[in-house]
């Protein structure tokens, strides 16, 4: 494989045990970058929608010196609009958001009618093995050094939870009693 996208997709295929994926394309809002592709695995975990992006790592950001991010979402829902929201965020915020742990994304409106949530926070993805989502080498022949991707997780939040995170930090929110995958849950704060 000499194509970085093919290497990344092959890694996701191994990570997901060969589970069938649906591909969704998000047209680029930037003439300098290609669109974002989102892979949706509905059967990966029982009752969960899992989505991964490809396209964030094609942008540049001052914080991305050695590794670039791609996004992962794992929610208890069958509604593909969650994956579409992930694509929208990936396209609209790549290069401007570092997607570092503790960062938030405020959509300002409900993601879907099934949920009151309007925002997301970035943290470690809901994947079983850290080796499966950090330092993925997608270097192609002729590339100097390594081209490494880290998969980061996005978790839906209520507006009040986003404000709590801003005031108290990610650890304080994460240690509350809540299920970060439940899109119908009550606020944790």
pLDDT at site 1: 43
pLDDT at site 143: 63
Q: How many CB atoms lie within 10 A of CB 74?
A: 22
Nearest CA-CA partner of 126 in 170, 76, 57: 76
Taking CA 80 as the corner, what is the angle to CA 74 and CA 84, rounded to the nearest 5 degrees?
90
pLDDT digits (tens, 9 = 90+) for 79-119: 999 999 999 999 999 999 999 999 999 999 999 999 999 99
Q: How far is CA 129 from CA 68, 113, 115, 132, 168, in A?
A: 19, 33, 29, 5, 28
Mean pLDDT of 171-189: 96
pLDDT digits (tens, 9 = 90+) for 119-173: 999 999 988 777 789 999 998 876 666 799 999 999 999 999 999 999 999 999 9
pLDDT digits (tens, 9 = 90+) for 23-74: 999 999 999 999 999 999 866 677 789 999 999 999 999 999 989 999 999 9
Contact predicate 133/57, CB 8 Å: no
pLDDT at site 17: 82
DSSP letter assigned to residue 132:
G
Q: Is 17 left (phi over 0), alpha (psi -120 to 50) or beta?
A: left
pLDDT at site 29: 94
Contact predicate 36/55, CB 8 Å: yes
Phi, psi of 128 (to 5 degrees): -70, -30
Burial 86-104 (b: 16+ CB within 10 A, else e): bbbbbbbbbbebbbeeebb
Burial 32-67 (b: 16+ CB within 10 A, else e): ebebbbbbbbbebeeebbbbbbbbbbbbebeebeee
């Amino acid at each position: 494989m000499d194509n970085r996208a093919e290497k990344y997709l092959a890694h996701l295929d191994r990570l997901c045990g060969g589970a069938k994926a649906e591909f969704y394309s998000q047209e680029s809002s930037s003439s300098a970058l290609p669109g974002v592709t989102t892979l949706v695995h509905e059967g990966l975990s029982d009752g969960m929608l899992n989505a991964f992006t490809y396209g964030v790592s094609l942008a540049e950001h001052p914080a991305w010196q050695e590794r670039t991010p791609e996004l992962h979402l794992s929610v208890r829902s069958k509604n593909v609009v969650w994956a579409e929201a992930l694509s929208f965020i990936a396209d609209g915020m790549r290069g401007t958001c570092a997607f570092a742990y503790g960062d938030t994304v405020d959509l300002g409106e409900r993601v879907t009618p099934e949920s009151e949530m309007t925002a997301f926070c970035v943290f470690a993805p809901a994947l079983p093995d850290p080796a499966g989502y950090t330092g993925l080498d997608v270097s192609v022949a002729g590339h100097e050094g390594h081209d490494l991707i880290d998969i980061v997780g996005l978790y839906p939040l209520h507006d009040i939870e986003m404000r709590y995170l801003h005031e108290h930090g990610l650890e304080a929110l994460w240690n509350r009693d809540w299920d970060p995958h439940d899109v119908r849950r009550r606020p944790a704060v």
